[in-house]
Structure 1
Amino acid sequence: MFELVLLVPEQAVEPVGDALDALDALSTSVEDADAMTEAEQALFGEPGMPPPKEGWQRSRVVALFNTEAAAREAATLLQAQDFFDGCAVQGMRPVAEQDWVRLTQSQFDPVEITPSFWIVPSWHEPPAQAERIIRLDPGLAFGTGTHPTTRMCLRWTAGHAPVGPRVLDYGCGSGILAIGAAKHGAQQILAVDIDPAAVEATRLNAEANHVQLVAGLPDAAVGEHDLVLANILATPLKVLAPLLCAHVRSGGHLVLAGILARQADELKAAYAPWVALEVSDEEDGWILMTARKA
């Protein structure tokens, strides 16, 4: 395989990226060409959301191709385009063959939720102290246990075991929170997501963990539940406040994540007509907010 390395001004990053995609690049990455210098720029965006800009003032775009001929052809075609004005080809270089599966697997170790509760990829043996485990490999759907929001939700579930029999995981992603609830006493579990790929991932992950649940799109969410979990982001959580609260039975728990510490008051205000949210946990600038319905 060969890498084609380009120097691209900010305004050309998007058309160059689209062109590389059309030229069958296997992958494309964008980085600050001025990184580690005084001209370095920081691009900060809301976690889980698109970046505020497509690139830096001077971006290094690296595209991967199957062959040197394909990389050279892409470079020739790009240089003939009007939008390539101001861009430059910095070079081409071979990429050493690697065992990409093994390399990917090496980046994911078992994740401790509590000393006795762990998330364990399928290629690892569970730690000796693990009494409960979730088998989960990285996939298309969000949620592998490595993000603070996921860990806090699972930690809360473990700390409140046994959870009630009826649980709703709203925005289930990989299904990790629903599976965690099943491992801690839940019996009737409903997991919903707007993404069909997440619904399918949840079903497959539940099967792999020998857990029974129902997974579907959001219109499948019906009835009241002892525990409602939603690990999304602050803005959709505010919009969903009346819906999520309606799914919590009297005396039941609401657990929300995907919230930055500075957003706590916004969430409290949004949910005040139904429940009194409190911050129950915090990690790396993220918070877990919970409430018990009167």
Structure 2
Amino acid sequence: MPWLQIKIPTMPKYTEVLEDAMLLAGCTAVTLIDTDDQPVFEPIRGTTPLWEHTTLQGLFEEDVDAQQLVETLQQLIESEQLKTGEISTEILEDKDWEREWMDNFQPIACGDRLWIVPSWRDAPDQEAVNLRLDPGLAFGTGTHPTTFLCLQWLNDHIKGDETVLDYGCGSGILGLSALLLGANHMDGIDIDPQAITATENNAQTNNLATELFRVTTEISELAEQYDVVVANILAGPLCDMAEAICHRLKPDAPLVLSGILSHQAVSVVDAYERWISFDPISELDGWVRLSGRKRQSKGFQPTDNGLILELS
């Protein structure tokens, strides 16, 4: 069915009272969006940042009296002396959003060997390594730059018989790709139970034997160390868990990190350089991938991180 959408431009300090008013008026969903298209990067822990100019966007059922709704909200704005822009309304035609997303998710080439292929589409290259993917509710389709950069690394560096840890596995896209590229075993860990389900389902879709992989929410179930560790999460958690992640690497084994914005790269390198000797950075659309190897000399700390920017 069609929906009535209402938009109210305002300032962050007024959003709470306006949101409450919209919900009391029968709004089924409220979204806060950026009025001026300004980026909000990863927030400081314990904060929920909003844009300087924020627009409340609410959805109401079509049979709501739009004129009466606008008048009621305008009265509230005037009585509470709230600063807002002009209230606008629009009728939105209903869509099958899942079908639209499926239609737009195309196979992705991630190097000279690996393709990510939606489970409902044909593989463009039947001779390639094709990971058939149905992400479900878990993060990871290969379309995001962070995932794509990690997939490129796996395409170029997995040679066969490795044990791989996918830290924050999401849909399992990285660990399962490593298996199809020749890795011997993959462990995936994630705090979201839906990620465990998605990874198991995608492994089944790709006919991967259950003894080849293990996915869990429990750190205690992981092996002591791995030949390769991949962690595509966020810069903050990556920094917090640097020692724990490096502990899972064998000496001289490669580490791949992503989920990192360009301006965060130096901070993440600083958190890891005690244990990791880094390669040049790879960047795509404002996101970076860090890769390197675990140092064999314990406690050695370089005086210069020697970062080099490599555009992808």
Shorter-chain TM-score range? 0.7 to 0.9
**Gap runs ≥5 in structure 2:** 297-312
Distance 1:165 1:23, change over 3 A: farther
Determine if the alignment matches structure 1 residue 16 to structure 2 residue 18.
yes
Mapped contact 2:167–2:230 kept (Cα < 8 A): yes
Q: Distance in 2 between matches of 1:218 and 1:186?
A: 22
Match of 1:228 in 2: 229
Q: Give the AA of the match of 1:209.
A: N
Distance 1:123 1:48, change over 3 A: farther
Offset of residue 42 of structure 1: 4.4
Match of 2:248 in 1: 247
**What are the equivalent positions in structure 2 for 1:121-160 lying under 5 Å apart?**
121-128=118-125, 131-160=128-157
Please give the TM-score of this superposition, normalised by the length of structure 2: 0.77
Mapped contact 1:251–1:292 kept (Cα < 8 A): yes
Match of 2:274 in 1: 273
Offset of residue 216 of structure 1: 1.1
Q: Distance in 2 between matches of 1:263 and 1:79?
A: 42
- The answer to which of 61-70 and 14-23 deviates more is 14-23
Offset of residue 274 of structure 1: 1.9
Distance 1:53 1:290, change over 3 A: closer
**Gap runs ≥5 in structure 1:** 34-40
Match of 2:93 in 1: 96
Q: Distance in 1 between matches of 2:223 and 2:167?
A: 11
- The answer to which of 139-148 and 46-55 deviates more is 46-55
State the secondary structure of the residue aligned to 1:64: strand
- Which of 57, 62, 68 does residue 62 from structure 1 map onto? 57
Mapped contact 1:122–1:135 kept (Cα < 8 A): yes
Q: Distance in 2 between matches of 1:113 and 1:67?
A: 44
Offset of residue 188 of structure 1: 2.1
Identity fraction in percent? 33
Q: Distance in 1 between matches of 2:17 and 2:116?
A: 40
State the secondary structure of the residue aligned to 2:250: strand
State the secondary structure of the residue aligned to 1:225: coil
- Which of 169, 175, 199 does residue 178 from structure 1 map onto? 175
Distance 1:187 1:7, change over 3 A: same
- The answer to which of 187-196 and 97-106 deviates more is 97-106
Mapped contact 2:131–2:176 kept (Cα < 8 A): yes
Q: Distance in 2 between matches of 1:130 and 1:12?
A: 57
User: Cα RMSD between the aligned structures?
Assistant: 3.2
Determine if the alignment matches structure 1 residue 46 to structure 2 residue 41.
yes
Mapped contact 1:253–1:292 kept (Cα < 8 A): yes
**What are the equivalent positions in structure 2 for 1:111-126 lying under 5 Å apart?**
111-126=108-123
Distance 1:144 1:169, change over 3 A: same
1:151-174 Cα deviation digits (max 9, x unpaired) = 111111111132443111111122
Match of 2:185 in 1: 188
Match of 1:263 in 2: 264
Please give the TM-score of this superposition, normalised by the length of structure 1: 0.82
Offset of residue 226 of structure 1: 0.8
Q: Give the AA of the match of 1:16.
A: L
Q: Distance in 1 between matches of 2:189 and 2:123?
A: 28
Match of 1:36 in 2: none
Q: Distance in 2 between matches of 1:176 and 1:48?
A: 26
- The answer to which of 12-21 and 190-199 deviates more is 12-21
Q: Distance in 2 between matches of 1:83 and 1:180?
A: 56
Distance 1:257 1:218, change over 3 A: farther
State the secondary structure of the residue aligned to 1:106: helix
Offset of residue 227 of structure 1: 0.7
Q: Distance in 1 between matches of 2:177 and 2:192?
A: 20
Q: Distance in 2 between matches of 1:25 and 1:208?
A: 40
Q: Distance in 1 between matches of 2:232 and 2:87?
A: 42
Q: Give the AA of the match of 1:12.
A: Y
- The answer to which of 232-241 and 11-20 deviates more is 11-20
Q: Distance in 1 between matches of 2:165 and 2:110?
A: 20
Offset of residue 142 of structure 1: 1.7
Determine if the alignment matches structure 1 residue 202 to structure 2 residue 199.
yes
Q: Distance in 2 between matches of 1:291 and 1:218?
A: 26
- The answer to which of 263-272 and 166-175 deviates more is 263-272
